[in-house]
Structure 1
Amino acid sequence: MPLFTREHQIDMLLVYGEVRKNRREAKALYWQRYPDRAQPHDKYFPWLERHLKTERIEEEPNEFIVSEEAEINTLACIEVDPTTSVRQIAANIGIGRESVRNILKKHKFKPFKYQVHHHLYEADHQRRLEFCNWFMVQQRPNLSRFILFSDESRFTNLVSEPHFENRPHIICSLVEFVCFSDINQTTSEKIIGQTGKRA
């Protein structure tokens, strides 16, 4: 179906109503009145009526309006604690979360996200060296298939932060395990040896 201007669509609806919503008669009458225009298929008339009844009218976006006091308080909350959640700021100041988001966006603040970082200890080099020496003298073929090599920072007991109740979407490890304390020997079904100790 060709695209029609808004003016042409209004003319089509007027013709469609004039012939009591008979689409074939509407097509013939529209062609008779406007022979130099692009002509719609007869099914276009009822479709256009349905579409315009259910179409969402485009409105100008609402301009973001918030008091200067709320804006200053929001920025002060971020200055005091950059990890504060939008929900917590909104509750403290007494404005909506969307208003807080808009203020932060206006001042080019990005959401704070926790990142996991790998931390090496002084004894890690020696432990790794011992593991490599142990691995080289093993007589078991395909031993490497039974060893999980991964980033140490992921081996935690997943103890959550003390303020977990206030921010349930953040889980941050407090107690890490150092995995090179003893060399862990693996069998096909289980790990033999100490799996780690508290740092």
Structure 2
Amino acid sequence: MLAIHQTRISEVFLIKQKIFHDERGFFYESYNQQKFVQETGINVNFIQDNHSYSKQNVLRGLHYQINKPQGKLIRVIQGKIFDVAVDIRKSSSTFGQWVSYELSCENKLQLWIPPGFAHGFLALSEVAEVVYKTTEYYYPQGERTILWNDPDLAIEWPLSSSPILSAKDQTGQLFRMAEVFL
């Protein structure tokens, strides 16, 4: 059984799995398609799994694909992250709004981010390993990046110093200049 928590952006869900603990450790189904569809009402086909390793203070994002947009089911298997989803669907009532959650290997929360959202995260622990399922393959020709510290979005990243960024993330577009979904 899943515990589904709707966020302030109705299409983004925070998901808590039923975890079975005993003296040996724990077990849980990290994904079960039938239960996911029954509990969320979302019938998607995940076609790619990604695995990311980041050192503390690495900030990845805000990424999206303008062509072949990806829905993502995010979870952390080591460490802790501050995970962010930004609605970039121009026709949406929550266009330009964002939600964030702390995901960790301890809380075992998952975040469902549908297509039409930019995604990013900040590694809060010494290391963080993130795994996520996607509904589309990686399509580099359609990849776009919104500047992580865009003043119009005003994301409240929990930073104690400057983040570690890739060259791509350093040169992201301002939100008001970014290609978005209609």
TM-score by length of 1: 0.19
Structure (1/2) with the larger strand percentage: 2
State the structure with more CA Rg. 1
Higher relative contact order, chain-length normalized (CA < 8 Å, sep 6+): 2
Q: Given the two structures, how large is their TM-score scaled by the length of structure 2?
A: 0.20
The structure whose residues are more often helix, as a share, is 1
